[in-house]
Chain A
Amino acid sequence: MGMMTRRIIPGTPVFDGEAASRGYRLNAMCYSFNNAANRAAFLVDEEGYCRKFGLNEAQRRAVADRDVAAMIAAGGNVYYLAKLAGIFGLNVQDIGAQQTGMSLDDFKAMLVAQAA
């Protein structure tokens, strides 16, 4: 008995209990960005803000690098991360391009091409 086997879906991180545990502090920080004053505080002192939420080293580095794939690998959930990405001026198409290694134009064209 014990844990169920984790299902692997290629290219698709599944935000399960393990990821939710690992990413809790990073996601908690992102959740705080529903408040405009917190977004401003992050911009004034990013290092201090991350320390306040107790991010681990991998999470801190991923945030510093604006690297969404690394944030997800460190347990980030995309709905919460979107609030952090918004502070950097990145929307879901920007982060899609970033994670797939495409230019933004190529990523948008890939989406349009799927209509055919």
Chain B
Amino acid sequence: MADIIGGVFTSHVPAIGNAIAKQRQQDPYWKPFFDGFVPVRRWLAERAPDVAVVFSNDHGLNFFLDKMPTFAVGAAAEYRNGDEGWGLPVYAPFPGAQALSWHIIDSLVADEFDITTCQEMLLDHAISIPFELCWPGGGPRPVKIVPVSINTVQHPLPSPKRCLALGRAVGRALQAWGGAEKIVIFGTGGLSHQLEGKRAGFINKDYDRFCMDHLASDPDAMTRHSALDIVELAGSQGVEILNWIAARGALGETAVEISRNYHIPISNTAAATMLLETAETARRGERLEVEAFVG
């Protein structure tokens, strides 16, 4: 039986890719952000997931405005990164967990989520940057992925409530999956930031803290706001928190916060990284540690 082990939640600011390319991880500007990944990398190395289900948004690499799905699920054997136009390196392809994708799609549609399915899907910095942060240094991708893309670009956006429900439906699909894979959930983007308008550079620590404080224990609290409320509270691009909300839903009812990092600013963004474990994995972890100590 598949095992949902936990979730990684992180900003995906493109400038992080440039910092990695120029090896600036220890520079004073960057160190406070990169340090947030020390516990995440350790956890990933110890827990060794096989599959990542990644909730993120496209930024005009894969989807143009001619067709803009509210929710799209990848169903490919491989996904490529691509030239986004402003200078990031093109990263290695991502192997897809194709059979699991179709299982999730079957389950979501049976659950009355009218999603778009994509057998071809370019993945942009919303996935490449988190992966470079979690598994640095290149080499073969350690996990196969199922990308779930949420429209955070063209309003009307899906509501936070609907995103949480989508995530929970993905979680039910994973629990019903017959494979033996260990599955990690990713939610990428945010936190508060705004790129356009007179309010460009807007950051809201209070709202970000509210989200981080409720992510593990009470994600429904984040559904009290509409998507436009979140634009006002977190900035036009802060609405990427929708990806976090959906990802949290996929973890199931109970989750435990393992680590949290919050740093202002990375580029125009209040950058955050959180690691959550499912309650079951957390209990097993304690048991492992106890056994190691006794042994």
Residues of A within 8 A of B (CB): 7, 9-17, 20, 24, 27-28, 30-31, 33-36, 39, 68-69, 72, 77-80, 82-83, 85-87, 91-93, 95-96, 99-100, 107, 110-112, 114-115
- CB distance A80 to B60 under 8 Å? yes
Beyond A14-B231, A17-B154, A79-B60, whether A111 also contacts B86 by CB under 8 A is no
Q: How many residues of B contact A (CB 8 A)?
A: 39
The residue of chain A having its C-beta at the shortest distance from the C-beta of B198 within the complex is A11
Contact of A92 among B65, B154, B267 (CB under 8 A): B267
Residues of B within 8 A of A (CB): 15, 59-61, 64-65, 82-87, 153-156, 194-203, 205, 228, 231-232, 235-237, 263-265, 267-268, 270
Beyond A28-B64, A112-B265, A114-B264, whether A12 also contacts B205 by CB under 8 A is no
Min Cβ gap B268→A in Å is 6
Contacts of B267 in A (CB 8 A): 91-93
**A–B pairs, 25, beta carbons within 8 Å:** A11-B202, A12-B194, A14-B231, A15-B155, A17-B154, A30-B60, A31-B64, A31-B65, A33-B85, A69-B197, A72-B197, A77-B60, A77-B65, A79-B59, A83-B86, A91-B15, A92-B195, A96-B195, A99-B197, A99-B200, A100-B200, A111-B203, A111-B268, A112-B264, A115-B265
Beyond A13-B197, A110-B201, whether A92 also contacts B268 by CB under 8 A is yes
Beyond A16-B154, A20-B154, A77-B154, whether A34 also contacts B198 by CB under 8 A is no
Min Cβ gap B57→A in Å is 9
CA distance A86 to B197 in the complex (A): 18
